[in-house]
Amino acid sequence: MMRPMRSSPPNNPPKSADSRRDGASSASDKLGSGVQFLTVPEELAGQRIDNFLQARLKGVPRSRIYRILRKGEVRVNKGRVKAEYRLKGGDQVRVPPIRVAEESAPAVAGESLRRTLEAAILYDEGGLLVVNKPAGLAVHGGSGVRLGLIEALRQMYPNSPFMELVHRLDRDTSGAILVARKRSVLLHVQSELRAGKMGKSYLALAAGKWPRGQKLVEAPLRKNTLKSGERMVTVDGEGKPSTTRFQVEERFKGATLVAAEPVTGRTHQIRVHAQFVGCPLAGDTKYATDEINGAFREFGLKRLFLHSARVGCTLPDGTRVDVKAPLPSELESVLAALRKG
């Protein structure tokens, strides 16, 4: 049973990255400028010291982090520790002066994005956020993307010492995504995800007439990287076992609205499985032809029609969370146009 949202993110701008992530750092501190003493918040209890340092020493090679651990330059409660040491809430971590690679100033979430995400928060209880991610926003920065959902949320919740993605959505996919605000929640929900106990359901518009009786697609998937660097996924006998359940929701002339539940969680799984049965998703620039996408543009479709419509899981205390994300208006209008024929 879903409990109501408890809080909304503060409107004040974020402090420094260090004050956001470490309870003992002040806003004027800057890792790399001198010896730092950091207090480990309860939310990070159980994290390995090497991963803790990696998240705070951006630009420092992992080999360098292991070196300062081996040499005893990093101390926890004034004692030496090994890289596999798991932190406890309240631990005092001494970080030595270390040169951090020069980086461009971190991207800051603009007021428009902040307002969009504040309005998109569907659930905020028990250390779990559910966000209705807009299409076009990557879930994290990297590969030419300076700012993603998780970076923006960390700026919006400057007093939350822990903020991590539970799972991912493709950049062009909209809808419900889980974000943990406590390490215990992250580990618990991810264990449910691995065990197939976490519920996820998508709405997708497939091109053509979905085959009657085609409710289960089991086809192994293999990731490939093209010379251009583009990532593609293909059905391949040597790929990883992959299963998706499909249910027809509504039929149109030349298209079918389907609900898709991925049993496994492979990259582009729903998109490739839909293509595999001969009904690629509308607006999919990777797996549908230009001709197909052009036809759907006539109905006003300007993006991939794939939406994470529902997510469900339990919290560590047993509370059941079941959240639905409404279909964006730009996709609803496409369905309305298809109904008119």
Q: Is 178 helix (H, G, I), strand (E, B) or coil?
A: strand
315 vs 288: CA distance, rounded Å: 38
What is the CB neighbour count within 10 angstroms for residue 288? 22
Active site residue 170: yes
Alpha helices in the chain (DSSP H): 17-21, 49-56, 62-70, 111-120, 149-156, 183-194, 269-276, 290-297, 329-340
Asked whether the beta carbons of 299 and 305 are under 8 A apart, the reply is no
152 vs 146: CA distance, rounded Å: 10
Nearest Cα neighbor of 152 from 200, 116, 195 is 116
Catalytic pick from 170, 236, 284, 290? 170
H or E element, residue 201: strand 199-207
H or E element, residue 312: strand 306-314
DSSP state letter for 140? S
The single-letter code of the amino acid at 60 is V
Q: List C-alpha distances in Å: 13 to 10, 19, 137, 149.
A: 8, 12, 20, 16
Residues marked as catalytic = 170
